[in-house]
Amino acid sequence: MTDTGKRGDDRRSAPGVLTRGQVLRLGGALGIASAAGPFVTACGGNAGGAVPGGKLVIWTFFDQVKIAARRFMKKYPKTQVAVKVFPGDQYETKMRLALQTGKDAPDIFDTDLSYQGKYINSPFAEDLSAMGAEKLIKDYVPYVAGFTKDQKGTIRAIVDHSAPGGFWYRRDIAQKLIGTGDPEEVNGKVDDWDKIIELGQKVVKDSKGKVHLLDSYNAVFEVEQNHMQPWVVNKKLNIDPRWNQALDVMRRIRANNVDAKLDAFSAAWGAAWNNGSVLMFAWPSWAGFNIDRKKTGDNWGIARAPKAYYDGGRYSSIYSKSQNKELAYQYLKFIASPEWQNYNLKKTLNMPALQSVYKSNMDTFKVPLLSGQHVLKTYYPIAMDIPVRRSDKYQKEIQAMFISAVSDMITNHQPNSKAFAALKEQVRTTYPEISVK
């Protein structure tokens, strides 16, 4: 704007005297300057670190987002953040409708990693790379940083946590049945599937069938899926040959009565967390909500699974039609900061996305539930070992189809080829655009 004003001065033919046209041009320039003033001030302010005031609307499925919103408002009192929480399966449908129509749509929307691939590669999610988000994820755990990007590598989401997984187990029961409850020692007993199967047989035998080592053979699936090639490569169904070994392990686990045959999130499975009928659960860092401390006591430990894995994640994107992108970006910047992630770790026990937060808390952070285990020390190497991927719209959907096909195969004692054939058939039918051989 300053440049325009100078050019106007240069064009004056007679200093001190303004023609009618010059008056009109000057008026126009002043009008534009006054209209654009707040925007320019806001941009300039941001560059200097100030946050524009205003109201931000966030849609999420997770109640704890309100904590982040409150901290953000406390830090920036001129801002107002309205968090709308839609728990349950209907959140995605509601959100998609709002984003499609643009009516009463949020400025920021959260997506779960199970369906994030559809949104991060859609025009609904704003380009955050253009807003400077590379700086925000520079120190992120690599696998988490991978999921903030679309297929082309543009950042379109920010996350404030990671979700590394391990084996959750009760120390007292482990002490009784496998001879130790110490995580370091347990690590050595469950770092290989063969060892796990052997240990599982011992647990069932010693407990006279009352305790099983694992809740379900799905533990193998949870762990191994992160190390397989993507399901779709160049629009072709890609079945990693290593799935054969993984399926064999699952079959052996079932055949040797190592697992309790419980479906995740069933009532019996929920009870098993607290009644001691299952020794270990392959679950990510956020699994603590399954535990009733009154029943089990602060008696838990976390051991490493045979391979590093993660499960879940809530990613936040700015709606591309939002009128409030500057403020929305400031919010994302806030949740990506060490300040918030440190607070979040201590308040909600969610593992950070930033490596620096892992490192700075590694020797000091303890969780009472885990009997004083330095949990960040356990999780950090796991998080760092998880292969880096980017979300696409097929991966999680096809994974769900395969889980279902494997379940039929295991239950009905069928060969691996049956599960692969069922998957191919389902993919062929559901996604005609994918080539299946």
Partner 1 sequence: MSVVARFRKKVFRSKAIPRPSRSNWAIHGYYFILPFFVIFVAFQLYPILYSLYLSFSNWDGFSAPSFVGLRNYERLLSDHLFYKSLLNTLVIWVMSIVPQLFLALTLALILNEKFIRGKHFFRAVFYFPNIVTPVTIGVLFSLLFDWQTGAVNKLLEALNIVDHPINWLGRPLLSQVLVAVVMVWQWFGYNMLLYIAGLQSIPSEIQEAARVDGANGVQVALKVTIPLLRPVILFTIITSIIGGMQIFDVPFTLSKNGPENSTLTVVMYLYQTAFERSQYSYAATIAYATFILIAVFSLLAFKLARSRQEE
Q: Taking the complex as a whole, how short is the minimal distance between the CB of residue 213 and partner 1, in angstroms?
A: 15
Alpha carbon distance 425, 409 (integer Å): 15
Whether 203 and 167 have beta carbons less than 8 Å apart is answered as no
Whether 129 and 155 have beta carbons less than 8 Å apart is answered as yes
Q: Does 432 participate in binding partner 1 (rule CB under 8 A)?
A: yes
Q: Taking the complex as a whole, how short is the minimal distance between the CB of residue 379 and partner 1, in angstroms?
A: 31
According to CB under 8 A, which residues from 64 to 103 bind partner 1? Answer: 92-93, 96, 100
Q: Does 266 participate in binding partner 1 (rule CB under 8 A)?
A: yes
Angle (nearest 5°) at CA 225 between 304 and 428: 170
Alpha carbon distance 413, 392 (integer Å): 32
Q: Dihedral, CA atoms, 275, 276, 280, 285, nearest 10 degrees?
A: 40
Query: Which one, of 244, 231, 232, 223, lies nearest residue 385 by Cα?
Result: 223
Whether 158 and 128 have beta carbons less than 8 Å apart is answered as yes
Q: Given the rule CB under 8 A, which of 152-160, 197-205, 291-299, 423-431 is the region that contacts partner 1?
A: 423-431
Q: Given the rule CB under 8 A, which of 78-86, 309-317, 383-391, 405-413 is the region that contacts partner 1?
A: 405-413
* Contact string 279-318 vs partner 1 (x = CB under 8 A): ----------------------------------------
Q: How far from chain centre, in Å, is Cα 199? A: 32
Query: Which one, of 159, 181, 153, lies nearest residue 169 by Cα?
Result: 181
Alpha carbon distance 131, 140 (integer Å): 17
Q: Taking the complex as a whole, how short is the minimal distance between the CB of residue 10 and partner 1, in angstroms?
A: 47
Q: Taking the complex as a whole, how short is the minimal distance between the CB of residue 93 and partner 1, in angstroms?
A: 5
Q: Taking the complex as a whole, how short is the minimal distance between the CB of residue 59 and partner 1, in angstroms?
A: 16
According to CB under 8 A, which residues from 179 to 218 bind partner 1? Answer: none
Choice from 108, 137, 260, 302 touching partner 1 (CB under 8 A) = 260
Q: If binding means CB under 8 A, how many residues of this protein chain bind partner 1?
A: 28
Helix (H, G, I), strand (E, B) or coil at 213: strand
Q: Does 362 participate in binding partner 1 (rule CB under 8 A)?
A: no
Q: Does 356 participate in binding partner 1 (rule CB under 8 A)?
A: no
Alpha carbon distance 386, 308 (integer Å): 5
Whether 414 and 405 have beta carbons less than 8 Å apart is answered as no
According to CB under 8 A, which residues from 103 to 162 bind partner 1? Answer: 118, 122-124
Q: Does 412 participate in binding partner 1 (rule CB under 8 A)?
A: yes
Residues forming the site for partner 1 (CB under 8 A): 92-93, 96, 100, 118, 122-124, 260-262, 266-268, 271, 393, 397, 404, 407-408, 411-412, 422, 425-426, 429-430, 432
